[in-house]
Amino acid sequence: MNDMTPSPGFDVDRIRADFPILRQTVRGKPLVFLDSAASAQKPVAVIEAMKTAMETQYANVHRGLHWMSERTTEAYEAARDAVAALMNAPDRHEIVFVRNSTEALNLVAHSYGRHLLRPGQAVLISAMEHHSNIVPWLMLRDSHGIELRVAPISDAGELDMAAFEALLEDGKVGLVSITHMSNVLGTYTPAERIARIAHAHGAKVMFDGSQAIVHRAVDVQAIDADFYAWTGHKLYGPTGIGVLWARRELLERMPPFLGGGEMISSVSYERATWAAVPHKFEAGTPAILEGIGLKAAIDYVRAIGYPAIAAHEAALTEHALASLSAIEGLRILGAAQDRGGVVSFALDRAHAHDVATLLDRFGIAVRAGHHCAEPLMHRFGLESTARASFGVYTTQAEIDTLATALVRVREFFA
């Protein structure tokens, strides 16, 4: 666990004031929202950016020649610039807008996996993946003859790096696709080391950054990734928009994922030719308002600053681990040295769904289930857990409220 304290300039009360939804009560209790890993709440800046675009300048983008379309196109494409800057991407044309991380992973599985990987090659994932980073590769295995390999993890929830490298040694792995931060364990994987080992064995590397980019700065050049996926709604932005970053030379070689408008250069009844990247992968009318909202979310996060966010959430996580581990009969999954603001736990005598339902009576929102990581649950001998996850607006007092409520919940099942 990193020994970090929030920056003196980090004012969580001021930040909470930016999120109107946090002012309400639930079942007569102040809302304690601890489900940000599933989808974060939205600040006023995001809400107003989308509202203003709808009220003052909305039109379709890229193809219109009138003032409204030009203004909206500029605002939408500014989101691409914002994403490129956020990730330190070397080229804005390497930013492909998709609906979410799931679509990004499926895009890579289809366009890279089916067309640039050969039958008999392997895709290597880890034992802590979200279903979105398992199912597309199962589909690729069944349709294209790709082998799927799974790198094990330790009981602490950390990637077994020796086993990971051993799975690459025969040279058959064409792509490593791995989480940058587990949505269940909070574990950060050592991205730079993973990329270095994979590249040394001739494999490309994709990271599912759905959780990581929320909590820490991501520099795709420093990591030396080949693909990186994340989703807007976890980064305080709207649903319906996500990001795939990929090296331009790879995007140039990959065929389109979807066909239709926007992604073509020309069409006849005999053939079609494709638009330049990234538009080759952005068929149809895009999520225009969501793109504008995503830029506002990025601006908001960058104004706070990742160092301050990381310090705040590290302090929250340390406090949560100490508080919850003191509760009799409560088991916390994972004990990674490098972990983010996600704590999954099981309470003896109680099903996770019952725990979440009873916590809701205290105004506390947590997630319960297998968190779209069913194989990982089985790795720890469980069917489900409850999960508390933190954001920029989470306070230590809210974690204390959770701990107190969990003691009451356990008494209910005594």
Q: Select which of 59, 197, 283, 372 is catalytic.
A: 372
Domain boundary among 269, 302, 335: 302
Measure Cα distances from 193 to 222, 310, 338, 390 in Å.
Answer: 11, 21, 14, 27
pLDDT in the model for residue 2? 39
- Tell me the Cα Rg of the chain: 22
Distance CA 158, CA 23 (A): 37
What residues contact residue 144 under an 8 Å CB cut-off, 6+ apart? Answer: 113, 114, 117, 119
Q: 212-254, pLDDT tens digit by residue?
A: 999 999 999 999 999 999 999 999 999 999 999 999 999 999 9
pLDDT in the model for residue 234? 98
What's the CATH code of the domain at 238? 3.40.640.10
Asked if the structure places residue 5 within a domain, the reply is no
Give the chain's length: 414
pLDDT in the model for residue 378? 96
Asked if the structure places residue 118 within a domain, the reply is yes
- Which tokens belong to 241? 């928009």
pLDDT in the model for residue 67? 86
pLDDT in the model for residue 349? 85
pLDDT in the model for residue 382? 95
pLDDT in the model for residue 64? 79
pLDDT in the model for residue 65? 86
Asked if the structure places residue 1 within a domain, the reply is no
CB 211 within 8 A of CB 228: no
Q: CA angle at residue 401 from 406 to 334, to 5 degrees?
A: 55
Asked if the structure places residue 380 within a domain, the reply is yes
- Do 236 and 347 lie in a common domain? no
Give the domain extent around 321. Answer: 12-43+305-412
Beta-bridged to residue 330, according to DSSP, are: 347
Number of domains in the chain: 2
Whether residue 271 lies in the annotated active site: no
Domain boundary among 238, 270, 302: 302
Phi-psi region of 305 (alpha: psi -120 to 50; beta: other; left: phi over 0): left
Phi-psi region of 62 (alpha: psi -120 to 50; beta: other; left: phi over 0): left
Say what the pTM is.
0.95
Strands (E), 155-258: 173-179, 204-208, 227-231, 242-246
- Do 122 and 248 lie in a common domain? yes
What's the CATH code of the domain at 379? 3.90.1150.10
Positions in the chain whose pLDDT score sits under 50? 1-6
- Do 116 and 152 lie in a common domain? yes
